[in-house]
Every structure is written in structure tokens, then in C-alpha cells.
């Protein structure tokens, strides 16, 4: 999972430019998690007035160092009246000397001394050849240019002229920014358009000998004078974008290889930038060509990769950094052994979805090439909840379990909160049977498991242990009570005193009218991967969607900087008075249709049942969601709704006792609604008379008498749906 203490140091560096898409706590935190080693502030897009605030803002969220990237010796367009202007081919416009807000008729260029160096005949390309103009005359307004290639011109876009123009290595703004940076203890500076070794010497004279200088190679002069630049700089950066304005694009790969070769010869670090993941500025996944380019760049010997527009203005800054991180680890493994292995597991090194509990996602579904002669097997009739356990074992939800626990494992779980191999496990998964059911069964026998009152076979079980327990003693150890009114104790007492342990294989899954809502852990992980989710918040419920649920989901989502929310309602057997599973799922559909429009939520059904085991069950449920791929799990004060039997902080205390189990719990205090604040909260300063305690049980009781609930408690769409169905005579509660 994404945790700074668990991520190994990347063998290559990732540099990330900060901008509108990433200058916030969540994204900076996630970029750091993904392995970014240096944050870049582009002075071309940051005003002098804003620079100190930007530096201080970044430092509030991270200890990763900051690099100030100078404007350097580059011509740029001035500001425009609107974000973009559109110019047409064969039309005429002016380049003027004074500073103006440009439009389709007139624009200005920076720095100002460029104007006097222009002459008739100059070809000027704007924004990586998006627009090409030629100077044809000069009049009292300024230089008259003819548009040769039309297109869009934006604010502060790079401009190149087809001959050498004299420009200072550092602008006035660069020098002022360096002073600000030094006052704020910045240690890294990037020199844009490093053309000569003297350019590097100039910035060195300003920042000092001990600070790190990255010289950006983005011109023919920079390549011609590379040897001298390498002598003076700490590292170099190949900006393939600006370089392509001076050399043909088909020569960029050769130029890159040669520059890296010379840098390595001098033992100078070399980074590569521009268009690494260009498509991900607007799309969630890269192209095949882009990932091949990055891999080849690493193979060329690049020491690091630079994300620019991808993280500054792109829609998916974190996904970009994660993709680069994954490619770096793939290259690292390739460097050790170029042999390609199918299903090669790099999750220990890579930023990826959390590992399954115990390291492996179990699969105990019987394949078609495993013929079994069922007629020869002893048949055991088991309950629906037992078969639910079999199914969740088979699809991997209970990983690393492969079957029902033997007695030694049960004792380890009850005494040590772990399996015999030391893996944390809190709830014994046991197959309870009567003395009559085990007659004729011996150890190592294979038996068929059938649904009670049916001959239909669902699974095979290899018997490894047959054992018994005093049920009251067992109840005390699992539920911390022997009170027969406790639903878990009551259910245990109604069964036999014998238990079977052993591995299971499921021949077919349970049928259900809600089966289409279910997904397996493997499917969940595939969906999360497709959505580029790494941090996923799990939410487990047996209630309809409430506004308080939305509040805590949002709170947990923001607290853990999550990519996605996995809402996973329970649809198995339940207590009398609970909402029916189909009603719960429909309530979440109604919420999703109108209120979950940002594509950051996945809703699926969980075919299981409440155990009423307090803290043991809470951690067991968290482990199940870890196997589905959740990195974080929401826990309220009363996870199992048996507050009469358990202390409110029991779950939190047990989590602390067990230490890191691989999934991060997010604990939320008891919620209330404040009439004065008109909001949900876990804390409010207002008088108690303004505070309304939120009770799911009370809400159910009001719905049962056909009363619509207030909007602050439940969305009107859901309240209307429940009451209308009730009035029509439809069942919405479990009998």
C-alpha cells in the first residue's frame, strides 16, 4: 500500500512540476508517496509576488526539496486579452514593442529587448510550431507579420526565431527569484537554455558553490558546448520539447542518446523531460508508445525522468507519477534479468494496489479439469451461512485461508489473534456440525457439502480435523459474553458441539437475485487497476444509504487522500428488522445516479453475514477488504451494532495491539447533527439542545410506520422510495 515507510527508494529519480493540478496537500502527498524526489516550480508560470507563498505552501505538505526553474534565455509571448487567440493563415498582424494585452491584431514578446533584434524576413514559430509567422515589414505600429501557419496562440508560450538572438542567460525576474529562493533556503536551481559554460558560471556565482544546479540542454548551442557545461554543472536535463524547435524531431532520439552518453562519461546525472506521458494530461492511461519511450530512455542511461505538464496542468498527476514509478521498477527488474515472466510479481517494489493478506490471493474454485466422482462422497448438509464462508474462501476474500480452521488454528486465533504461521487473524472460521453429521467420517476423507434441506452439492472438503468444544466456553472466547440474548452466542448454542477442519474446493457459486452486484477480490483489483486507483477506502454497511454515511465517507476519503471509495453493503442473512439486501443496494443506486458523478465510487454487494463479534469482527472485515484491494477501511464506534456487549473503543484498542496489518483503519467518532450548524459532525460547540443523535435503528422504526425522514438524515429520493414501497405492501425489512 502507499505508505512512506513501506515504499522502497526508487533506483531512478522522478522530478515533478507543480502547478494548478498539483499545488494542494492531497496531490503533493500522493506524489511524494509515488516516489517523486524533487518538486519543480516553473518561474515562467509563477509571479514574483506569488513565489514565496508557493514555496511555503509546498513546504507545509512535504519535506521533498524544491527546485526553482528559471525562465532563462527564451523568447515568450506576452499576456493576451483572453486565454487563447486564433490566427488565420495569410492574414496579417503586428508584433509591438510596448507591453500590451494581445489579440488577433497585435501581440508583444518578452523579453522586451527582442523587438529591436528582429528584422524583415525572420521566421517566428510560436508554441512548438503551432503557429508560424514571417516578418514582412515594419511600420509605425511595429513589425508586420504574415501568418504562414494558422492556429492558437496562448499566454506566455515559447517563441523561436530562425536565427541567433542575443538573450541574457537569466532574466531580471530570474535574478529576483533566486534571491527569494536563497532567503527561503532553496538548495536546487534549474538553468533553462544553458548555452555555454559561462551561463552555468553566472548562476553559480549567484547561488553559491554548495547548491545544486541542473543545466537544461534545449538548444543546438547547448549541445555544441555540452562538454564545458558538464564541467560546471551538477546535473543536466534534456528538454526534448524546446530541443525539437532547433533540430528535426526525428533526430531527437539520437541526440538524447548522445547527450546521456557524454553525461555518463563525465559522471554527471542526466534527466529527461517532455512528452513522457503527454496523453495522460487528459486521459487516465498512457499510450503503448509512451511507456516504450520511457523504458527506452531508462535503457539509454537516464538517471531520472521529469513530469512537467503531466503533473502541473494534467487531469491525472498522481497516476502519471505512479506509472513512471512502475516503469522504473520494471526496468530495474529487467536490468537484473531481461527474461520476461508471465504474472511477474513486482508489488513489493512497485507502487501498486495493496497486497492480499498473507501475500497471495487464494483461489479455491474447482476448475473444469478436476473431475470428481461426487456419488462416492459422504454428503454433509450445511447452512447457507456455512456455504457463504465456503464461497468467500474460494474466491479469495478470506485469504490466506484455504478452508475451515482445524482446532490448533482456532486456539491460535482465539489466544494470539493469528494463524499458526503468524499471520494476523481475529475470527475463527469454523464448520459447526452435530454428532450425527460426523458419523462414518474419518480424517483425510473427502466429503461433499450440500445446502441444508437439499441434495445440491456446492463444494468438496478434505477432512483434516474433527474436534469439539464446550459451546459456552467457546462463546465466551469469541464474543466475550455467554449472554444468550447476544445473536452470535444464540446462533452458536443452536448448533452442534463438533467442528470439522480442512481445505475446501467449491464446484459452483451460490445463486442470488443480487449476484450481478457481486464482484470477487480479483475482479475488484482489476477494476481498481483499470481506474488507476491505489488508495482505496472500504466502507462496509448493512444499512441503506444515510446522509451521515456520506459525511463519514467524504471525511475518510479526504483524510486518507484516497483515489476511490469502495462501498460494500452486506447482502447475506441478517437480523429481523434489518433492511432487505435488495433495498440496500437500490438505495445506493439512487445515491450513485445523482450524487456520485465524479467516478470515484464503486458499489458492490458482499455475500456474507454479520457475526456480532465486536472488535474481532471489525478487524476480520478490514482484512477481507484488504483482500479486495482496499488500502484503508472506515470504522465507526460500533462496527457490529452490538453496543450493549462491547466497549466503544474496543476495536481501536485491538488494532493498536495488533500493530500494522497492512490496511489502515480510519476511526470515526460517534456522529450527531447540529440544528444550528445544519451539518453532521463528530464535535460541535453548540448547546446540547441543538444536537440530534443519529441512530440507524430509530430511522428504521420511523420508516416502518411510514414516516418520511428529514433531508439531513436521508436523501429525499431514498426516503420516498422506502415509504412508497411500504405503502404498496412491498417488503423492505427482514422478517
Q: Residue 6's pLDDT band (boundaries 50, 70, 90)?
A: very low
> Which pLDDT value is given to residue 683?
63
Grid cell for residue 214: 541542473
pLDDT exceeds 90 at position 119: yes
pLDDT exceeds 90 at position 255: yes
Q: Residue 598's pLDDT band (boundaries 50, 70, 90)?
A: low
Phi/psi of residue 673, nearest 5 degrees: -120, 130
| 329 within 8 A of 346, measured Cβ to Cβ | yes
> Which pLDDT value is given to residue 692?
74
Closest among 143, 91, 150, 102 to 122, alpha carbons compared: 143
CA distance 535 to 322: 12
pLDDT exceeds 80 at position 571: yes
SS (H, E, C) 641-693: CCCCCCCCCHHHHHHHHHCCCCCEEEECCCCEEECCCCEEECCCCCCHHHEEE
> Which pLDDT value is given to residue 245?
83
Q: Residue 654's pLDDT band (boundaries 50, 70, 90)?
A: very high
Average pLDDT in the 6-23 region?
88
pLDDT exceeds 60 at position 4: no
3-state secondary structure of 147: strand
pLDDT exceeds 60 at position 450: yes
Superfamily holding 13-72+170-336: Phosphoenolpyruvate-binding domains (3.20.20.60)
> Which pLDDT value is given to residue 670?
67
Average pLDDT in the 32-40 region?
95
> Which pLDDT value is given to residue 205?
98
Q: Is 26 exposed, middle or buried (0-12, 13-18, 19+ CB in 10 A)?
A: middle
pLDDT exceeds 90 at position 137: yes
Beta strands in 394-544 (DSSP E): 403-404, 431-433, 446-451, 457-462, 465-468, 498-506, 536-541
Q: Residue 584's pLDDT band (boundaries 50, 70, 90)?
A: very high
Closest among 611, 615, 568 to 397, alpha carbons compared: 568
Of 532 and 223, more confident: 223
| 250 within 8 A of 215, measured Cβ to Cβ | no
Q: What architecture (CATH level 2) is domain 515-727? A: 3-Layer(aba) Sandwich (3.40)
* Radius of gyration of the chain, Cα coordinates, nearest whole angstrom: 33
Using a pLDDT cut of 90, give the percent of the chain over it. Answer: 73
What one-character-per-residue DSSP string does 549-571 give? HHHHHHHHHHHTT-SEEEEEEB-
Of 723 and 697, more confident: 723
Q: Residue 237's pLDDT band (boundaries 50, 70, 90)?
A: very high
Q: Best-predicted range by mean pLDDT among 208-212, 342-346, 597-601?
A: 208-212
pLDDT exceeds 60 at position 279: yes
pLDDT exceeds 80 at position 676: no
Of the given ranges (235-239, 342-346, 497-501), which has the lowest mean pLDDT?
342-346
Closest among 344, 517, 380, 360 to 459, alpha carbons compared: 380
> Which pLDDT value is given to residue 575?
75
> Which pLDDT value is given to residue 322?
93
Residues contacting 181, CB < 8 A, separation 6+: 51, 55, 68, 189, 207
pTM for the model: 0.82
> Which pLDDT value is given to residue 347?
46
Give residue-wise pLDDT tens across range 142-163.
999 999 999 999 998 889 898 8
For residue 72, is the peptide bond before it cis, meaning its omega torsion is within 30 degrees of 0? no
Grid cell for residue 170: 537569466
What is the CATH T-level fold of the domain 75-161, as seen in this structure? Answer: M1 Pyruvate Kinase; Domain 3 (2.40.33)
CA distance 180 to 247: 35
Residue 720 CA, chain-centre distance (Å), reads 35
| 399 within 8 A of 663, measured Cβ to Cβ | no
Q: Residue 249's pLDDT band (boundaries 50, 70, 90)?
A: very high
Residue 510 CA, chain-centre distance (Å), reads 32
Q: Residue 88's pLDDT band (boundaries 50, 70, 90)?
A: very high
Average pLDDT in the 369-379 region?
77
CA distance 590 to 516: 17
- Scored b (16 or more CB within 10 A) or e, 214-241 reads bbbbbbebbbebbebbbebbebbbbbbb
pLDDT exceeds 70 at position 685: no
Give residue-wise pLDDT tens across range 280-320.
999 989 999 999 999 999 999 999 999 999 999 999 999 99
Of 370 and 324, more confident: 324
Average pLDDT in the 660-664 region?
95
> Which pLDDT value is given to residue 1?
35
pLDDT exceeds 50 at position 2: no
Phi/psi of residue 660, nearest 5 degrees: -70, 115
pLDDT exceeds 70 at position 218: yes
> Which pLDDT value is given to residue 698?
79
The cell 487522500 sits on which residue? 561
| 611 within 8 A of 642, measured Cβ to Cβ | no
Closest among 528, 521, 671, 513 to 580, alpha carbons compared: 513
Residues contacting 292, CB < 8 A, separation 6+: none
- Scored b (16 or more CB within 10 A) or e, 266-293 reads eebbbbbbbbbbbbbbeeeebeeebbeb
> Which pLDDT value is given to residue 597?
63
Return the domain boundaries, the chain: 13-72+170-336, 75-161, 374-506, 515-727
| 562 within 8 A of 534, measured Cβ to Cβ | no
Q: What architecture (CATH level 2) is domain 374-506? A: Roll (3.10)
* Average predicted confidence (pLDDT) for the chain: 91
Q: Residue 701's pLDDT band (boundaries 50, 70, 90)?
A: confident
pLDDT exceeds 80 at position 348: no
The 10 Å Cβ neighbour count of residue 729 is: 6
Closest among 442, 445, 444, 500 to 469, alpha carbons compared: 500
Residues contacting 110, CB < 8 A, separation 6+: 75, 76, 77, 78
CA distance 34 to 318: 8
> Which pLDDT value is given to residue 442?
93
> Which pLDDT value is given to residue 645?
80
Residue 107 β-bridge partners:
95
pLDDT exceeds 50 at position 27: yes
Rounded to 10 degrees, what is the CA torsion of 13, 14, 18, 19?
150
Half-sphere exposure (Cβ direction) of 212: Cα atoms closer than 13 Å: 16
Amino acid at each position: 500500500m502507499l505508505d512512506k515507510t513501506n515504499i522502497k527508494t526508487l533506483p531512478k529519480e522522478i522530478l515533478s512540476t507543480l502547478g494548478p493540478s498539483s499545488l494542494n496537500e492531497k496531490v503533493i502527498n500522493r506524489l511524494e508517496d509515488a516516489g517523486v524526489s524533487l518538486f519543480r516550480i516553473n518561474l515562467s508560470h509563477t509571479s514574483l509576488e506569488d513565489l514565496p507563498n508557493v514555496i511555503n505552501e509546498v513546504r507545509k505538505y512535504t519535506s521533498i526539496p524544491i527546485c526553482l526553474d528559471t525562465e532563462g534565455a527564451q523568447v515568450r509571448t506576452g499576456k493576451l486579452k483572453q486565454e487563447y487567440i486564433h490566427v488565420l493563415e495569410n492574414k496579417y498582424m503586428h508584433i509591438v514593442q510596448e507591453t500590451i494585452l494581445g489579440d488577433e491584431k497585435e501581440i508583444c514578446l518578452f523579453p522586451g529587448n527582442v523587438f529591436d533584434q528582429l528584422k524583415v524576413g525572420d521566421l517566428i514559430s510560436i508554441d512548438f510550431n503551432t503557429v508560424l509567422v514571417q516578418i514582412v515589414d515594419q511600420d509605425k505600429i511595429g513589425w508586420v507579420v504574415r501568418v504562414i501557419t494558422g492556429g492558437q496562440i496562448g499566454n506566455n508560450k515559447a517563441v523561436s526565431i530562425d536565427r541567433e538572438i542575443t538573450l541574457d542567460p537569466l532574466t531580471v525576474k530570474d535574478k529576483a527569484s533566486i534571491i527569494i529562493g536563497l532567503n527561503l533556503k532553496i538548495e536546487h536551481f534549474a538553468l533553462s537554455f544553458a548555452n555555454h559554460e559561462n551561463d552555468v558560471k553566472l548562476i553559480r556565482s549567484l547561488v553559491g558553490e554548495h547548491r545544486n544546479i541542473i543545466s537544461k540542454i534545449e538548444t543546438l548551442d547547448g549541445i555544441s558546448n555540452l562538454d564545458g557545461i558538464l564541467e560546471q554543472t551538477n546535473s543536466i536535463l534534456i528538454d526534448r520539447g524546446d530541443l525539437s524547435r532547433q533540430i528535426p524531431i526525428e533526430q531527437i532520439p539520437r541526440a538524447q542518446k548522445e547527450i546521456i552518453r557524454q553525461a555518463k562519461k563525465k559522471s554527471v546525472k542526466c534527466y529527461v523531460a517532455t512528452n513522457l506521458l503527454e496523453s495522460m494530461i487528459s486521459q487516465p492511461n498512457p499510450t503503448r508508445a509512451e511507456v516504450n519511450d520511457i523504458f527506452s530512455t531508462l535503457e539509454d542511461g537516464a538517471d531520472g525522468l521529469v513530469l512537467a505538464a503531466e503533473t502541473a496542468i494534467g487531469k491525472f498527476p498522481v497516476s502519471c507519477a505512479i506509472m513512471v514509478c512502475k516503469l522504473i521498477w520494471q526496468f530495474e527488474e529487467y536490468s537484473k534479468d531481461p527474461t520476461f515472466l508471465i504474472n511477474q510479481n513486482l508489488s513489493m517494489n512497485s507502487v501498486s494496489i495493496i497486497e492480499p493478506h498473507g501475500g497471495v490471493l487464494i483461489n479455491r474454485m474447482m476448475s473444469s479439469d478436476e473431475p470428481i466422482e461426487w456419488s462416492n462422497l459422504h454428503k454433509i448438509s450445511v447452512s447457507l451461512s456455512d456455504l457463504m464462508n465456503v464461497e468467500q474462501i474460494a474466491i479469495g476474500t478470506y485469504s490466506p485461508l484455504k478452508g475451515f480452521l482445524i482446532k490448533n488454528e482456532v486456539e491460535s486465533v482465539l489466544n494470539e489473534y493469528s494463524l499458526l504461521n503468524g499471520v494476523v487473524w481475529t475470527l475463527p472460521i469454523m464448520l459447526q456440525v452435530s454428532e450425527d453429521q460426523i458419523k462414518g467420517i474419518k480424517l483425510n476423507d473427502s466429503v461433499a457439502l450440500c445446502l441444508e434441506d437439499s441434495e445440491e452439492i456446492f463444494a468438496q472438503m478434505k477432512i483434516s480435523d474433527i474436534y469439539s468444544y464446550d459451546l459456552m466456553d467457546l462463546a465466551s472466547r469469541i464474543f466475550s459474553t455467554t449472554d444468550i440474548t447476544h445473536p452470535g452466542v444464540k446462533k452458536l448454542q443452536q448448533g452442534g458441539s463438533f467442528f470439522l477442519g480442512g481445505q475446501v474446493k467449491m464446484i459452483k457459486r451460490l445463486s442470488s437475485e443480487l449476484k450481478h452486484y457481486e464482484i470477487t477480490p480479483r475482479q475488484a483489483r482489476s477494476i481498481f487497476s483499470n481506474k488507476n486507483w491505489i488508495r482505496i477506502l472500504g466502507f462496509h454497511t448493512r444499512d441503506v444509504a444515510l446522509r451521515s454515511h456520506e459525511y463519514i465517507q467524504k471525511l475518510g476519503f479526504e483524510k486518507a487522500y484516497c483515489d476511490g471509495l469502495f462501498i460494500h453493503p452486506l447482502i447475506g442473512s441478517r437480523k429481523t428488522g434489518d433492511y432487505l439486501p435488495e433495498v440496500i443496494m437500490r438505495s445506493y443506486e439512487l445515491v450513485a445516479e445523482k450524487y456520485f458523478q465524479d467516478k470515484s465510487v464503486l458499489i458492490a454487494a458482499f455475500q456474507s453475514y454479520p457475526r456480532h463479534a465486536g472488535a474481532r469482527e471489525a478487524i476480520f472485515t478490514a482484512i477481507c477488504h484488504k483482500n479486495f484491494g482496499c488500502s484503508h477501511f472506515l470504522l465507526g464506534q460500533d462496527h457490529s451494532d452490538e453496543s450493549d456487549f462491547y466497549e466503544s473503543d474496543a476495536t481501536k484498542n485491538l488494532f493498536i495491539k495488533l500493530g500494522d496489518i497492512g490496511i489502515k483503519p480510519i476511526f470515526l467518532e460517534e456522529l450527531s447533527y447540529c440544528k444550528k450548524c445544519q451539518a453532521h459532525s463528530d464535535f460541535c460547540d453548540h448547546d446540547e439542545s441543538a444536537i440530534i443523535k443519529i441512530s440507524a435503528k430509530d430511522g428504521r422504526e420511523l420508516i416502518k410506520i411510514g414516516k418520511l425522514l428529514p433531508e439531513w438524515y436521508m436523501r429525499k429520493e431514498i426516503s420516498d422510495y422506502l415509504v412508497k414501497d411500504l405503502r404498496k405492501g412491498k417488503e423492505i425489512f427482514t422478517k
